[in-house]
Amino acid sequence: MSQLLTIFPQTPLEITSRSTVRTGRAPTFAIYTLGCKVNQSDSNGLSRILQSQGFRRVAFKDCADLYVIDTCTVTNEADRKSRKAAARAARNNPSAVVAVTGCAATYAEAQFQRAAPNALVLSNARKWELPELALQKLRQIPDWAQNYARFREETASEPSPIATRERAVLKIQDGCNHKCSYCIIPKVRGTSTLKPHAALVEEAKTLLAEGAREIVVTGVSMGDYSDGKREPGHGRNGALCELLRELSSLDGLERLRVSSLDPADVDEEYVRTLAETPRICPHIHLALQSGSASTLRRMRRRYTPELFLKWAHRWREIAPHGGLTTDIIVGFPGETEEEFQESVRVAQAARFSSIHVFPYSPRDGTVAAELGDFVAPPVQNRRVRELLALADTLSSDFASQFIGQTMPVLIEKIEDGFAEGLTENYLKARVRLASHEQAPAAGDVTIALIGNWSNDALEAVQSN
């Protein structure tokens, strides 16, 4: 047993200085990702680079050589969670390198130097330098450097990335040229940039070859993808829709899911592409933020409640069983009770399948933070509770139409005889498996007979 512990130490940087060590141990890393799907895409990219250098990914709670925290700064709570993750990583293994990047690292570097004084803190502009800079810091640890050199000599070729059988995220665009008054993202992610169509198709093929069954297409401001590319016979989203249709036709793809588009950028071609194209999930996410015209003006959003409802109702016409999800900010500066109730009425009229409710959180450097007239916390909290209660009712109303029907579910996790995953229209499902012999694996699609809606999920039994 002692021999095994010498060759395969239980924790990083342990025992490797002993003269009896002959076999190099694979270096380990863990990633903690906060925030949006764009961050998920970035974290996946960092993971692929590290795996190509021989690193093995472990859970964030485990002891690792390198911890990467890809942060979010959209709210004060996101900032707090980002700092907490950096401090936790430093406690997990004091000898490890902690590398912090993302929007919160761009917005407030000093926060992380206090939470983890020796951390490597990199802005979004330097995010892709992280693997090399982290490797440089690790190589400054003599025992680690010797082990890594042995490992690379023994493995010779670079290991392939570990495949996912569930979903992968494909980022088609980054940055934002719009100036919503509450949003810090243009300052921390810069102006809008686009990836070329051909490069995205090749990247998607790579993700599928590695085992992904579902690809989620995302961007900070995806409506920019078609800017300057309008062709005869197409609307403003012609280039985006052409990309989505080509991606949906790739061999090996089970599903293509599309993340948020600004309501101001929606057109008929876009909603029909999501509703009618085979293998594109019938799910549309439109961020309302507020149902009050006056609040939307203070937010500097580019649409009215009427325009939003036009597209929400159109979606319900052509995709009656499709998911319609949204984000709503509660307690924006100056929000009156009537303005809040306008948001409630629009939510009721839109019949959302899910609402993400965000209490307004001021961001230094934004216009909204200087508006004053902040909503008192007790009032904001009461409005949050009211909107969450409505969200629960709307989700239940939407989900109830599927009771007694069968639906395909892409499995993400299996535990204690149950499989958990998502339906095509973005409902969480908990599926009781028929037997151990027929148990699916993560990444498989199983057919589920829907029994009821409980605790924000469809309760179902496996029927295939």
Spatial contact of 70 and 34, defined as CB atoms under 8 Å apart: yes
33 & 147 share domain: yes
Which residue did the predictor score with more confidence, 458 or 44?
458
Rounded to 5 degrees, what angle do the CA atoms 9, 12, 18 make?
50
Q: Are residues 235 and 269 in the same domain?
A: yes
CA Rg value for the chain: 24
Residues 326, 339: Cα–Cα separation, whole Å? 18
Angle between helices 130-138 and 37-52 (to 10 degrees): 50
- Judge if 87 and 225 occupy the same domain: no
Least confident of 97-111, 145-159, 204-218, 282-296: 145-159
- What range defines the domain where residue 437 resides? 406-462
Residue 294, in any domain of the structure: no
Structure tokens at 80: 């707090």
Nearest C-alpha neighbor of 245 from the set 174, 234, 400: 234
Reported as a single tens digit per residue, the pLDDT across 404-420 is: 999 999 999 898 889 99
Are 392 and 410 within one domain?
no
Whole-angstrom distance, CA of residue 31 vs CA of residue 116: 16
Residues 43, 60: contact at Cβ < 8 Å?
Answer: no
Coil/strand/helix, residue 407: strand
Q: What is the CATH number of the domain that holds 391?
A: 3.30.750.200
Would residue 88 count as lying in a domain?
yes
Q: In what order do the strands lie in the sheet with 354-359?
A: 283-285, 323-330, 354-359
Chosen domain end from 353, 371, 401: 401
- CA dist 135 and 169 (Å) reads 25
Average confidence score pLDDT of the chain: 88
pLDDT of residue 14: 36
Number of folded domains that form the chain: 4
Does 119 share its domain with 207?
no
Q: Which of 155, 188, 203 is at the close of a domain?
A: 155
Say if 273 falls within a structural domain: yes
DSSP strand pairing (167-174 vs 120-121): unpaired
For residue 252, the domain's CATH number is: 3.30.750.210
Confirm whether 297 is domain-assigned.
no
**Is residue 204 in some structural domain?**
yes
Q: Do 82 and 53 belong together in one domain?
A: yes
pLDDT band, very low/low/confident/very high, at 152 (cuts 50, 70, 90) = confident
Per cent of the chain over pLDDT 70 is 90
Length of the chain: 464
User: Does residue 263 contact residue 308 with C-beta atoms inside 8 Å?
Assistant: yes
Query: Nearest to residue 289, comparing CAs of 340, 363, 348, 218?
Result: 340
Quickly state the pLDDT bin for 116 (edges 50, 70, 90). confident
Residue 302 lies in a domain: no
Q: Containing H/E element for 99?
A: strand 97-102
Note the pLDDT tens digit of each residue in 21-63.
345 678 999 999 998 889 888 998 899 889 888 899 999 999 9
> Which among 173, 181, 206, 446 has a CA at the least distance from the CA of 301?
181
Same structural domain, 100 and 30 = yes
pTM of the predicted model, to two decimals? 0.81
pLDDT band for position 4 (50/70/90)?
Answer: very low
Residue 396 banded pLDDT, cuts 50, 70, 90: very high
- Asked if residue 47 belongs to a domain, the reply is yes
Q: Which long-range contacts (CB under 8 A, 24 or more apart) does 138-143 make?
A: 138/27, 138/65, 138/66, 138/97, 141/13, 141/95, 142/17, 143/13, 143/16, 143/17
Residues 147 and 203 in one domain: no
Give a yes or no: residue 287 inside a domain. Answer: no
- Residue 250 and residue 232 share a domain: yes
CATH of the domain at 421: 2.40.50.140
- Mean per-residue pLDDT for 349-372? 94
